[in-house]
Amino acid sequence: MENRTGPPPPPKTPEPRLRAVDLKKSFGSKVVLDGISFSVAPGESLVIVGPSGTGKSVLLKHLIGLVRPDSGKVFVAGEDLWALSHVERTRVRKKFGMSFQEGALFDSMSVFDNIAFPLRRSGRPASSFRAGCAAASASRARSRMSRRSCSSTSRTRG
């Protein structure tokens, strides 16, 4: 048996769920991200606030691997997004959910089909998510809406 001496090792800090390291992104001459670094620990919540046009959406698109930074890195649970293959990056992207700004939906689809969209894309059989999607249409009124297209829904509401 090993004879240990000296002070006990420091407690292990958990791997951040998300880490941005010196992210930089410009569109033409417009610098949008200028060296953004932060990390999000397991269980921690992060809110990004700022005036319109200052780069919140651009940052989010970097964090989920939709936009590649000019320089810097994004780590998701320790995995360097842009060191992964395309297939591996797609696997990591599936960990994220994202809703459109202003709560927009695909207006050519019903509410039900909007909710089911990512689940169908995941390749799961419809039987495995049908109940969950129906539950998301919480009230009977919403359930009636779910059979109609979102464009007719918004016309009705507007």
- Binding interface with ligand ATP (CB under 6 A): 27, 30, 32, 50, 52-58, 101
Residue 85: name its binding partner from Mg ion, ligand ATP, none (Cβ under 5 to 8 Å by kind): none
Beta-bridge partners for 38: 20
By CB under 5 A, is residue 153 in contact with Mg ion? no
Q: Which region among 8-16, 56-64, 118-126, 138-146 touches Mg ion (by CB under 5 A)?
A: 56-64
Strands 30-40 and 79-80, bridge-based pairing: unpaired
For Mg ion, the binding residue among 16, 39, 40, 57 (CB under 5 A) is 57
Closest to 60 (Cα-Cα) out of 77, 72, 74: 74
Residues near Mg ion (CB under 5 A), total: 2
Question: Residue 61, interface with Mg ion (CB under 5 A)?
Answer: no
Residues 154, 108 contacting (CB under 8 angstroms): no
60 scored as a contact of Mg ion (CB under 5 A): no
Q: Which residue from 42, 35, 41, 40 is spatially nearest to 21, judged by alpha carbons?
A: 35
Q: Which residue has the tokens 């009230």?
A: 139
Q: Which residues contact Mg ion by CB under 5 A?
A: 56-57
